[in-house]
Structure 1
């Protein structure tokens, strides 16, 4: 299983960057997790839009879905140019019907509702969900394949249920939109200290801080988290790749 960070900024992309988007590959299957602003441009450095096998969406805030329409048009244009490929499944929750219906576009993409109370398969991956603390319905994901596990928190303030949900994960891809002296609870986000405490209690093998703030010295996030977590910590960065 290989995870590649495509975009990692929270809220909006910093200059020349992208907001949330992560490519997960295993056994030739290519799954895009979230598709925020700038993701499609960055993704093409690794694979082309028509090569994706599926997309899964945590929630419908723009920094996680802004490039869905762009992805749809990219595949549409490649079809006009003669490329033949399947209708791309876009998995999302249906607790915002207005946004969910946009996942289906002609015969280019098909919106498929996931049941957040069940585990289901996407290609070689088994995905389970946890509802997060965020202003809109949003779901963290535990993704497993061949005995390896990646947990993606999506957007959330800290909640105790994360500990059991993430226990023993090989990689915790944890949102960290605030510095240690800031309180992100009302905004539905975690700070660096909370991320470190969370990773330590869940006994994960590696912590990747993502959904980063555009201001301040982001290297401070690692310093603050490492006061709480004794394992490997990295900042999400463009094209950071982790193979399990």
Structure 2
């Protein structure tokens, strides 16, 4: 599996950046995980909109879905220009019917509901879900293929269930929207210390801090999390790639 970070800012994109979006590739299949503000613009540095095989959405806050409509119009326009491609499946939960309905657009995209209690097969990937601690229904994902596992926390304050859900993962893509001296729980987010402790307890092989704040010295997040986690740790960065 190859993961490319497209956007990694929390809440809104910093100047010239993008909020949550990650491209996961394996065996020629290209899956976009979340599609926040600025993601489509940045994505085109890697692949074109018509090359996506599927999209999966963790929840319906704008910093995770803002570019769904933009992606739909991109594929619509490309169709007008004579390009042919199948309807794009966009996987999301059904616990907000108003937002879920927006995942379907003409014959361009089709919203497909995942059931969080079941394992979902998308292309070569097996995806299991865990409900997170966030103001709206949101689901973390454990994505597996060929004996490798990536866990994406999506948005959440720390919950004990994360430990077993992430146990032994090759990569933990963990939200880190607050610094160590801040309490992110009321907002449904983790701080750097939460992320480091979580990664250590779950014995993951590598930790990437993402969904980052727009203020402060981001290297402090790395320092704080490194005091809790002894493995490989990095800050998410634009077009950063991790191959497993």
Shorter-chain TM band: over 0.9
1:212 corresponds in structure 2 to 212
Q: How does 1:14-53 map to 2 (within 5 A)?
A: 14-53=14-53
- Cα distance in 1 for partners of 2:164, 2:74 equals 39
State the 1:120 CA deviation.
1.5
- Cα distance in 1 for partners of 2:234, 2:78 equals 36
Specify every segment of 5 or more residues in structure 1 that has no aligned partner in the other structure, as ranges.
Answer: none
Q: How does 1:1-244 map to 2 (within 5 A)?
A: 1-244=1-244
Encode CA deviations 1:50-76: one digit per residue, 9 max, x unaligned.
000000000000000000000000000
- Cα distance in 2 for partners of 1:220, 1:170 equals 24
- Cα distance in 1 for partners of 2:115, 2:158 equals 22
- Cα distance in 2 for partners of 1:219, 1:94 equals 37
- Cα distance in 1 for partners of 2:194, 2:93 equals 27
Specify every segment of 5 or more residues in structure 2 that has no aligned partner in the other structure, as ranges.
Answer: none
Runs of 4+ with >4 A deviation:
none
State the 1:83 CA deviation.
0.2
- Cα distance in 1 for partners of 2:211, 2:137 equals 17
State the 1:45 CA deviation.
0.1
State the 1:218 CA deviation.
0.4
- Cα distance in 1 for partners of 2:86, 2:103 equals 15
Encode CA deviations 1:161-202: one digit per residue, 9 max, x unaligned.
000000000000000000000000000000000000000000
TM-score (norm 1): 1.00
- Cα distance in 1 for partners of 2:153, 2:65 equals 16
- Cα distance in 2 for partners of 1:161, 1:48 equals 37
Aligned residues: 244
TM-score (norm 2): 1.00
